[in-house]
Structure 1
């Protein structure tokens, strides 16, 4: 894995974009074990690779998970989230984990809501100050 602060580039742009995602299980049920979390990590890595993104960090507890994803600007966060949640739900349900089967019914693993926060780079106050100090032409 490369340095997480390495600026990436596309054909016409340079970028360094990270998003912090939090997914919660349906009904906030505690269904995750270490084995499920380990499988989720592999599924999330695979989905990120499909989007030319990188799963920088991942972990969770029994009822939610946190992801830190480095992604290119051509990727919509909402579409990335939809794929991450959809693929992981199908894969985890296909493996028939007893903890998941016992506490969740129907086809849903995740709550429909999620948290997404942009992160990394300089704080907003520093960027704002930098922009304010630009020399406007007379």
Structure 2
């Protein structure tokens, strides 16, 4: 899970769709698979299957860095109303591991988030 800086409600539905596209591309660069993605106005959830050779910290750094740069570039007027000072994401993140049956529960949790309208 990644949250926007200061939990500002910066995301629109269109931005979440674009964020998912960006994060899928970044995952592919790491030979990882973005299995599930969803979010709300102030955060996103990802379910990622990544190979053991990929370092989680580098994957997260790329996911956050690339998405922040491209979303700011493509949606600058909107983003600037909510986030300033060059920051997009909070410096922290949550990552947990799962497998087997709990995976279904995690997918359901991510699917059930209410995306912003518009």
Give the TM bin, normalised by the shorter chain.
0.7 to 0.9
Structure 1 stretches of 4+ with a deviation exceeding 2 A read 96-99
Query: More helix per residue: 1 or 2?
Result: 2
SS of match in other structure, 1:68:
strand
Distance in 1 separating the partners of 2:12 and 2:82: 13
Matched residue count: 102
Choose which of 37, 52, 65 in structure 1 pairs with 2:31.
52
TM-score by length of structure 2 reads: 0.82
Any gaps of 5 or more consecutive residues in structure 1? 1-21, 124-138
* Higher RCO (Cα < 8 Å, 6 or more apart): 2
TM-score by length of structure 1 reads: 0.71
Within a 5 Å distance, the mapping from 1:1-138 to structure 2 comes to 22-121=1-100
Distance in 2 separating the partners of 1:99 and 1:120: 38
Answer with 1 or 2: which has the greater Rg: 1
SS of match in other structure, 1:116:
coil
SS of match in other structure, 1:55:
strand
Any gaps of 5 or more consecutive residues in structure 2? 103-118
RMSD across aligned C-alpha pairs, in angstroms? 1.3
